[in-house]
Amino acid sequence: MDTGSLDAALGISDSVTTTVGISRSIFVQKMAPPEKRNLSAVLLLTLIGFLCLRGSTGFILGGLAMMAVGVYGLYNSIRFNRETWPRLYRRWLDSWLCHKCGNVYHHP
Ligand SMILES: [Zn+2]
């Protein structure tokens, strides 16, 4: 049974395409919960920087720069996920969508 057609008609589902990425309706974007920051990119950057420390002087300098950017990004992302995200998520939980005018209201 296709349960997605009703959601799609109401505009409340993500439509996953076979091409690149996910296209979302404006409605879904407006009501989407805040996302936590993904740490994989900064972790990968830090790891690559670390591996560059084994190379020549140029590689070591580049590696140190990558590690500095990676660690800084990691610190920022962890801090966001720990301190900012719970506040945003709490606010999202307390928000309501008006189906008449489409506005989102915050009502704790
Ligand atoms: Zn309204």
Q: Measured in angstroms, how far is the CA atom of residue 3 from the centroid of ligand 1? A: 28
Tell whether 37 and 24 lie within a shared domain.
Answer: no
Q: How many domains does the chain have?
A: 2
In whole angstroms, what separates CA 78 from the centre of its chain? 13
69-104 pLDDT per residue, tens: 999 999 999 999 999 999 999 999 999 888 888 888
Q: Measured in angstroms, how far is the CA atom of residue 69 from the centroid of ligand 1? A: 44
Tell whether 6 and 20 lie within a shared domain.
Answer: yes
Tell whether 27 and 37 lie within a shared domain.
Answer: no
Q: Measured in angstroms, how far is the CA atom of residue 48 from the centroid of ligand 1? A: 50
Whole-number pLDDT of residue 43: 94
Q: Measured in angstroms, how far is the CA atom of residue 107 from the centroid of ligand 1? A: 13
pTM of the complete model? 0.64
Q: Measured in angstroms, how far is the CA atom of residue 103 from the centroid of ligand 1? A: 6
- Which DSSP string do the residues of 30-87 spell out, in sequence order? HHPPPPPPP-HHHHHHHHHHHHHTTS-HHHHHHHHHHHHHHHHHHHHHHHIIIIIHHH
Tell whether 5 and 44 lie within a shared domain.
Answer: no
Please state, in angstroms and rounded to a whole number, the distance separating the CA atoms of residues 28 and 12. Answer: 6
What is the span of the domain harbouring residue 15? 1-31
- The interaxial angle of helices 40-52 and 57-79, nearest 10 deg, is 160
